[in-house]
Every structure is written in C-alpha cells, then in structure tokens.
Chains A and B, each alone.
Chain A
Amino acid sequence: MLRSLKVLPCVVAGLLAAASPVPAQAQQVESELVLITPVAKTLTDPALAEFAKYAKEKWNITVKTSALAAGTPVAYGRIVEWKGRPEADIFWGGESALFDKLAEQNLVAKLDLPKAVVESIPDSIGRPKPIPLKDPKGFWIGTVLEPYGLVYHPKLLQRLGVPPPKDWDDLLNPKLKGNVAQCAPTRSSSSHATYEVILQREGDAKGWEWLRRLGGNTGIFTARSRDVPSVVAKGEFAAGFAVPSYMAFEDRLAGFDIKFVAPATAWITPEPIAILAGSKHPKAARAFIEFMLSERGQRVAMERGVFPITPKYRVQGAAGSTAEMAVEFTGGLRSYFDREVTNIYDDDVAQKRYEAVNAQFRKDIESVWDELKKKY
C-alpha cells in the first residue's frame, strides 16, 4: 500500500520533469539511496546529508537517503538472505574478506568507477602483511582508514592507580581486574580481527594464553563492539579492547572524557564499500561512492575520527575544529600515509580459521570465564 502511494509522487515528479527542460548533465541519479551498514550513524548520517546536498547542487535532485544499521555479520547475513533482491543499494563497512565472499556469490556488482578515482587509492598499506585498500577485480573499494585500538577512562584509571595504556599488554595489569570491557570475537568483527592480531603476534599457544589472561581481567563481555566505548565513556569500566577509532571519538564528541590509543600492531580497516547486485538505485549508489572518495566526502569522514584513504588528503582544520579534535584524540596522527604502518594481521589466515577461532574462544574463554576470573 505504502509502496503504491510512494509511486504516485514519483509519477507526478516524472511528469513535471518531462515538462521542464532536461538538465544538461548526462548522468542523472535516482531520487533514493539506501545503505546497509555496520558503520555507526554518527558517520553515515553526516555523509548521507552532505551527499544529498551535493546531489541537489549538481543535478538539482532531492535524494531521499536512509541507512539500515546492522552489525557486520547481520548486514552480511541479510544481503545473503535477500538473494539478489536487495532492500538496500550499498553495503558499507566491515572486513574486505566478506566483500570477496559476496562477490563470489554474485551479490555485489562491479563498481565501474572513473579510473582517476580508483588510481588515487594505493593498492595496499602496511608491512610485513599488506592490507588491501581496493579489490583488483573492482567489486569493492576502501573508503577511509580506521584503526581498531584501545580506549580508556582517564579519571577512572587515575583512581585505580594505573598509567594510561600504550600497548595491548597494558590491559593485563592486575589493577585493571574486572575493569576491562570487550566484545566476544563471535559477536564482533573488530574484536575477531584483534583476537587474530594477538594470535598472529606471538603464535597460537602464547596468544591464547594471553587472551585467557585478558578474559580474567574482563569485567563485561558486551553484546556488540559499539557498547565497549559506551561503557568505558560512562565510567562503568575503565578500559576497552578492540575499539574502532571513530566509535570512541563519537563518545568524545558527545562530551565524555574518553581516550583512544592505537597500539603499533593495531589492525586498520579500509571500510570497504560495494554496490549490491540488483540494487534499485545503482546510479545514486555509484554517485555516493564517488562522492565519498572526493575531497568533500573525505573531509566529512575526517571530521568523525577516521583517516583519509588516499595520500592526497590529511586530517586538518582550523584550531578548535572537530578535525583538530580528532587529531588530538587519535594521538596526533594526520594520515596513515605519513608513516610506516606495521601490520601483522593476515586476513587469509584469519578467514580460513574463522569458525575454529570462534569455537576455541567459546571453549577456552566464554564457557570458563568464571574460572578464568579466579585463576588470574
């Protein structure tokens, strides 16, 4: 019913458009755009709002935008369940391996972006294991760079007599017992990736021992990764593990006293983006992706605590601007292309044993959590 009602204004608009002279630009976009995304609305909302403005200026079209918020696994699952008849146009965010899986199932379409746009983004970043920033086959492309690091509540740490953490190991401080928040790797892709960082850093045996000790220090396993900075910002817990930088920055913007640090081995995600096969608004979808990779789109993202995907731009703004606040929040970094990036996380290894790691987590940590708390 609502659908047919929706059609009416479109028809009316179509008639009006036919009556008025057609704008000169060849490339028109549809008047609607729907994202399905694990990226929090604090980043998607401003990006969509700015895109709508851009579309109005460029084509004089009012694009109705919306974002269907869903965690990475949920978003992936829904796309699979839609079986090529998607309720959204764009999948944005998560691990690039999932995008490869979708491409294998023909559930995402080729991007066909202008060559200059694609080439402005390097193939990969980091050593010894390079992180791919775009798909050589052209099904997905990175949008921003975003580290998964640690958060802490300075005032609470001071009360506990704990110095601000710098590296993963600082979370094992016995004084933090019961004060660490994390999300289970079975529930969160950022947590899963960071579990892999720990395992690949010093080998499985030592890695699991380390993770068990972290379990012993953990006061809460949150339901989603986004809850980790929330509970730390509020002061419910003192430190959090495996947090995407911009999520923590949102709490900072909301007025909370929370700090973020990315250890040297922290994994960096390019937040891939792709157009869903069978999308109802493919032109608007492509225009949005091009917009996100333009300077204007990158600036919107940089205001929210993530880093540019190309060496062309750096996080910068007037003194006291949100961009400068973000620079301070993430430890003074303006671009990941300014420095050597260490990456030890191998996504192929991780994807091959994805379920095995989850199963071992359930067996060795989740189901014996009470014993771990007593043991360590």
Chain B
Amino acid sequence: MKLSRPSPAAVGFGLIWAFLIVFVVFPLVRIFYDAFTNEAGQLTLVNFQEFFTDSFYLRSFWKSMVLGVAAVFTTSVIGIAVAFLLIRYDFPGRGLFSYLTMLPLILPPLVGVLGFVFILGRAGTVNVLLMDWFGMEKPINFMYGTHGVLLVETVHLFPMMTLSVLDALSKVDPTLEEAAQGMGAKSWRRFWDITLPLTTPGYISGALLVFIWTFADFITPLVLGVQDLLAPQAYLNIMQFVDRRIFRMGIVISALLVVLAILFVLAARQYVALKDYSSLSYTRVQRRQLGPVMRWLAVGFLSVLLFISFAPQVGVLLAAVGRGWSLTPFPVVYTLEFFRQVSIETPRFIINSFLFSGIAVFLCLAVGVPMAWILGRTQAPGRNTMDALTTLILAIPGTAIGIAYIRAFNFPLPLIDLPLTSMWVILPLVLAVRRLPYTVRGSHSSLLLVHRSMEEAAENVGATKMRTFWDITVPLVWRGILVGALFSFLTSIQEASATIFLTLGGWEMMPFGIFTFYIAGSQSQAAALGVILIAMCALSLYVVNRIAGTRVGGLFG
C-alpha cells in the first residue's frame, strides 16, 4: 500500500515523524551542540581535546570498554547455557526454571547492588558468617571494585542474553537440522553450519544490549565506590553544578556515550535491524530427555545460578524488615514499620509510578503500533530511517537521554509560558520514548507472523479493509502488542536513569523514591520500596510469560 494520497494515514505518518523528530532527534542534536560549544556558545573542539588528553578520563573510557566486554563474555557463557538447556532439553522443573531465570532481569536499579552488598559486602551475611564461625580475620572483598560491578551486571543481565538466544533458537526450523542430520552431518557440524548462523542475530542484539547497559550503568559502580568509569563520571560531573567546566565535561561524556551507542549499532546493524530475516513462525521444538546424571547436573547448575541470582532479592527483603542490621548474619530486630512508611504514609511513589508508566504505555501504543504497521506493511519513504531510529533508542543510555532532555526542553513554551521540564508530562514522555522500541518490536514481530496472503485472501472474498483488519489481523497480533505493551510498562516502572535527571518534587516514581531514600541514608525504606517494586514487576513478568512464552526475547532483537 502506498501513502500517496493525503489520507488520514498520511497525517498519522507525519505525526509519528514529528514525534520522533521532536522527542528523539532534537534532544540528541542539542546535547551535541552543548558538547561542541563553550560557555559563550562558540563552536569549539576544546571539550573533546580535554577529554582525550586527561589520563583519568582516558582510563575511565578504557575501563568501561573492558568492563562491557567482560560482561558480554560472562553473560554469554551463562545465558547461552541456560537458553540451550531450556529449549532443547527436558528435565524436572523446566517450566519453573524458565520463569525464574528471567526474574533477575527485573531487579530495579540500585536495589540489586544494595541487595548484593547486604549479602556479600564487607559486613554482609557471608563475610560475617565466615568471620564469626570460621575465625576469618578480615572480610573478603567480594563487592568493592570493578569485579563487584561485573558480578552485579552479570547476574542482572544474563537473562537478557538467554531471552535473545532463546528467541532466536525457537525460530530455527528443526527440519533444517534434521535435513542436515539426514545428510550425515555430525552434531557439532550441524551446530556450526545451521544453528549458529541462524541464532547469531539474536545473540548479537543481546550482546549489544548487555554491553551498552553495562557501559551506561552509573548507579552500580557508584554504590561500589568505582568512579573511574564513563557513566559514573557523566553522572557525577553533571550532578555537581557549581563547577561549570566539570559540568560541561559531564555533557561531553554523555555525548560520547551517544556516539558510542550509534557506532555499536552501526557495527551490529546487519544483525540487529528489524529484518524479515527470521522464519515466519515459532516452531515447536522436540525436547530431548536428558540422561539421569545430566538431568541432575542441569538442575544443579540452574539451582546454583538461581541461588546466586536471588541473593540480592533476599538481601533487600532482609534489609526491608530488619532494624539496625549491622555485623550480624541476619537482622536481630524485625519490623514492618518501613513498609508502612513507604506505602501507607507516602503512597505517592506507587501512585505516580502507575500513573506515569500507564500514560507512557498509552503513548507507546499510540505511536508504536502504527510505526510497526508502517515498517511491516508499507513501503513508505524513510522507513529504514525509522527502523534505525528505533534500534538507536534501545541503544542510547538513559543517562544521556535524561541530560539531553534537561538541556533541550528548558525553554518556556509559547502560550503556556512554561518550559516542558517544569511539567510532569515530561516523565511519561521520556519513558514512552525510551520504551517505544519494545512496543514497536512486539507489534512488528507479530505482524510478521500474519502472512500478507491471509489478509489478501480475506480481501479477495470481498471483506473490506476494516473488516479484514478486525477479523484477521487483530486476532492474530493482539498478543504480540499486549506483550510489547506490558513489557514497556514493566521496564518503565523500573526506569531510573533518565527520570533521575528530570524528576521534580511531587513527581517521584518508585525507583526515584528508592534513590531518594538511599540518598537520605534510609536504606531500610529504600529496601522496602524496592521489595514492593520487585513484587509488582514479578507479577507483570509472570503475566507476560504466560501470554508470550519464549517470545519475549524478540523484543530485544
């Protein structure tokens, strides 16, 4: 279908582009403008010269790259192993494991690292037990340092790898492998020649996201006292406003994060675009039974993995109900006071979270579903650019988006004479922009499942376009759209990197509340709010999982 006549479709098309230009392109352009000018507004390269001649910044840059690669490596090893086990083999508790191994992904920012410190810190449960029971003199430093950051990121992000690979694997038509087997190919040969190439796109997109996530996370390193990384430097420099020179360096680093994200996406472009590459259908995989020994090894591996993965949740839960917990393996005094304070006394965190995330999802649907349709069903001009923008949004760090919004929307708007940054609607807006790709992808991948021929068949027997849409397309795609929307909701309600820069008094969502309590030194309240958030997210994820099964992975890839 062509969009040549000035139809409502053309208007919609224009509106979508307007949305993308105003809320994605413009802020990014603004941040680059800031990075390439000085306080007087003159164009200059001095900022970048300062960055690349400062040994501390260079070290931060280098360390960030190494950490990102290391996180890709560790999450690959764990994530791929889990994906293969879950999709190819049958063993006791497989269904339960497939849900539980997704859970670490919904660990909200800050909550994960705090939980880990409660369990594995210098005065955490493990060290206290070692010192009290085994007479160890000094605590083992599990957490403070780059290795601690790697541990937290690995546990948090391996499910992203699992989901991406899982999605790709379940699209591999087993008949291809059977054909190879029929022609006498050995198992490793089949893996190398058939399975690997077909799963590479899923893997690459997973790896890209793990890398960028690790690269852009500033909260985890800060809690663990690691400041010589790029993202914490961006945050710290921006968050001190007094020294304008350091402030500008924060913007420069954010711009650099964006440039790197663009470069990574370009490098991985042939794999991570929304392509019609994958087979149209998910296939039922015939699972193999594992032998008795292997079966228990699989269960054992997953159990140990989950034991470590759930350490932060346990730590946070203990901290949320413990009072004055210090240097004992578990809290001594228990209380529900903190839950009461964060939910009954100050319910605004919870209310704001639902309100803003709800509006964000609505915006995602309003913009994302038509976008998916344009990408999947039309030859409209500029759809490749639109596709590239969608991928880019996934890759741009929230920190950079938050800073870009602050810089870009801080001028009074005509008519209302208020800057957008003073209106609460900026929060649902930034959330909608950041989570838009999930809705687009969810809708797009389910549109791919509806073969165009089905709609054509309906039209041939006389159904109107509207009728075709409601009777054929909608019943086939609503699940995908719903899953995309739920996933947008789930990730919006946890967002804390862009919103931290934009929140004003009274707009606090749960992650910001957690952050404020933590900043105010009230770790127990932070933990209590964290427990509530985790519980809500676990519930939404359960619903997503029930509806979508393994297809959640398609949202990333």
Contact = CB atoms under 8 A, between A and B. Distances in A.
Interface of A: 1-3, 34, 36, 40-42, 66-69, 71, 73-74, 76-78, 80-81, 85, 87-88, 98, 153, 155-156, 184, 186-187, 219-224, 226-227, 229-230, 233-237, 247, 250-251, 254-257, 354-355, 358, 362, 366-367
A51 to B, nearest CB: 16
B519 to A, nearest CB: 6
Interface of B: 55-56, 59, 117, 121-123, 144, 222-223, 225, 227-228, 232, 236, 239-243, 245-247, 323-327, 333, 406, 410, 412, 422-425, 504-506, 516, 519-524
Q: Which of B59, B144, B223, B240: most chain A CB closer than 10 A?
A: B240
Main secondary structure of the interface of B (DSSP, over half): loop
A219 to B, nearest CB: 7
Contact of B144 (A78, A219, A255): A219
Contact of A254 (B144, B422, B524): B524
Contacts, number: 127
B425 A230 contact: no
A205 B175 CA distance: 76
A363 to B, nearest CB: 8
B240 A73 contact: yes
Given A68-B504, A88-B505, A220-B144, A234 B326 contact: yes
Nearest to B222: A223
A187 B235 CA distance: 11
A208 B523 CA distance: 34
A200 B139 CA distance: 36
A153 B326 contact: yes
A34 B260 CA distance: 39
A366 B239 CA distance: 18
A74 B504 contact: no
Contact of A226 (B236, B241, B423, B520): B520
Contacts of A68: 504-505
A196 to B, nearest CB: 15
B505 A226 contact: no
A40 B243 contact: no
The 10 closest A-B pairs by CB, nearest first: A77-B241, A255-B324, A235-B123, A220-B225, A68-B505, A73-B240, A223-B222, A235-B327, A367-B56, A235-B326
A337 to B, nearest CB: 29
Contact of A42 (B410, B522, B523): B522
A12 to B, nearest CB: 20
A184 B117 CA distance: 21
Contacts of A3: 423
Nearest to A73: B240
19 contacts: A2-B424, A41-B516, A42-B521, A66-B505, A74-B240, A76-B241, A77-B240, A78-B241, A88-B505, A186-B246, A220-B144, A226-B521, A237-B122, A255-B324, A257-B324, A355-B245, A358-B246, A366-B56, A366-B227
B225 A74 contact: no
Contacts of B506: 66
A233 B242 contact: no
B294 to A, nearest CB: 42
A234 B241 contact: no
B28 to A, nearest CB: 20
A219 B139 CA distance: 13
